[in-house]
Amino acid sequence: MIQVFKQAAPVFKERRKIVADYMKDQMKIAKETEKDIDTCKEAEKAMKQTVVDAKYEWKQQIALEKRRLAAKKKEEAAKKREEAAKKQKQKAPPTTLAVERVLTGETFADDAHKTLCVARWIAAA
């Protein structure tokens, strides 16, 4: 019996070596797979961060556009107010000095339109 074991020993050693090599290969594959999984997880995190960054940038662009539009509206409103103020000044009653000048027969040499406006105001009063 001992003789059988002595004869079989090299075969078992060879098989053990094959199994050990196989296990080493499996461990290498497992480590690589683990690295691949870690790489995938990192890539997934990076992708999520990219999406978050894109959303943040998109929101910033929208806010910037809203501010620009609000500034444009304010500008337009200011222009309308200026135009309304100019129209109101044109419709405003003439000063007493201007009325006296028209009543005495003097005219505004620089602006015939002013004289006409003052005359209309006097006629309306």
Span 11-35, pLDDT tens digits = 777 777 888 888 888 888 888 888 8
pLDDT of the residue at 101: 64
- pTM for the whole thing? 0.39
Give CA–CA dist 77/85, Å, rounded: 12
Question: Residue with structure tokens 């006097």?
Answer: 122
Domain that holds residue 12: 2-85
**61 and 121 housed in the same domain:** no
- Those residues with Cβ within 8 angstroms of residue 93's Cβ, 6 or more apart along the chain or in another chain: 121
How large is the average pLDDT for residues 108-117? 62
pLDDT at 6 over 80: no
For residues 30 and 70, membership in a common domain is answered with yes
Number of domains in the chain: 2
Residue position matching structure tokens 């000095």: 97
| 89-107 pLDDT, tens digit each | 676 565 666 666 666 666 5
- 80 and 31 share a domain? yes
Q: Are residues 81 and 107 in the same domain?
A: no
The closest of 82, 118, 75, 120 to 99, measured between CA atoms, is: 118
pLDDT of 100 reads 66
